[in-house]
């Protein structure tokens, strides 16, 4: 029995996306071309564009995969007091992990900014869902830190965790731009700078 056209289309789209993923892992996202993806997937070049519009559309899904992998790696049953001996350090790990994803290449950072609506007027729905989930996990972390007695250093209580998440997002995007514009060349320098920002912004004075 032959598959229905819709099923064949879904399977072809998945094959094209898998080819783009594999090539980006082997060669880096900046070197992935429509010709290479088509050859890897065993389809015509026009098929790549018919499913994703253009290469930005296709590579945006590769970026989304990486963001979802980051989401899976940070997902827990919720913060635990015994794991919070260094809440600032844990927070910096989360921030640097996202920065590592979106600074993997100039194309990745550009696509990230496009898809969150910074450089283009609309946010892609899939990105909104994933980034909302990452923001919610960060907000949960800050809420626990703010409310758990005895955790040191103390988190400020004159701002809501949601407000604080907004500030942390700004720090991360600014940090990513500093790295990709070569204003900072060492990510350890960026982490040190972020620590100072986080401590000044979040900690109870």
- Residues 74, 158: one domain? yes
Task: Write down the residue that tokens 């499913």 correspond to.
Answer: 51
Q: CATH number, domain at 24?
A: 1.10.10.60
- Residues 90, 26: one domain? no
- Quick one: pLDDT at residue 197? 95
pTM, two decimal places? 0.85
Confidence of residue 80 (pLDDT cuts 50, 70, 90): low
38-56 mean pLDDT: 92
User: In this prediction, what percent of the chain has a pLDDT beyond 90?
Assistant: 61
- Helix (H) / strand (E) element for 12: namely helix 5-27
- Residues 86, 39: one domain? no
User: In this prediction, what percent of the chain has a pLDDT beyond 70?
Assistant: 93
Residue 62's nearest CA partner among 27, 19, 95, 96 is 19
Confidence of residue 1 (pLDDT cuts 50, 70, 90): very low
Q: Give residue 126's domain range.
A: 60-202
How many domains does the chain fold into?
A: 2
Q: Using DSSP, state whether 87 is helix, strand or coil.
A: helix
- Residues 121, 154: one domain? yes
Rounded to whole angstroms, the maximal C-alpha distance in the chain is 70
Last residue of a domain, one of 15, 34, 53: 53
Q: What is the pLDDT of residues 127-157, one digit of tens each?
A: 889 999 999 999 999 999 999 888 899 999 9
């Amino acid at each position: 029995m032959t598959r229905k056209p819709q099923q064949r289309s879904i399977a072809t789209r998945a094959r094209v996306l898998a080819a783009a993923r594999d090539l980006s892992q082997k060669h880096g996202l900046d070197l992935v071309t429509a010709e290479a993806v088509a050859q890897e997937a065993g389809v015509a070049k026009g098929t790549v564009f018919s499913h994703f519009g253009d290469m930005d559309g296709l590579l945006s899904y590769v970026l989304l995969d990486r963001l979802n992998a980051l989401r899976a790696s940070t997902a827990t049953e919720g913060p635990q007091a015994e794991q919070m001996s260094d809440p600032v350090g844990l927070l910096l790990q989360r921030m640097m992990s996202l920065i590592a994803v979106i600074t993997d290449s100039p194309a990745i950072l550009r696509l990230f900014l496009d898809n969150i609506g910074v450089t283009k007027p609309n946010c892609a729905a899939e990105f909104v869902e994933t980034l909302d989930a990452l923001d919610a996990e960060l907000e949960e972390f800050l809420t626990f830190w703010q409310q758990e007695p005895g955790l040191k250093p103390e988190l400020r209580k004159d701002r809501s965790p949601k407000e604080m998440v907004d500030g942390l997002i700004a720090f991360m995007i600014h940090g990513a731009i500093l790295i990709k514009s070569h204003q900072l060349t060492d990510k350890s320098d960026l982490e040190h700078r972020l620590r100072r920002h986080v401590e000044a912004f979040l900690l109870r004075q």
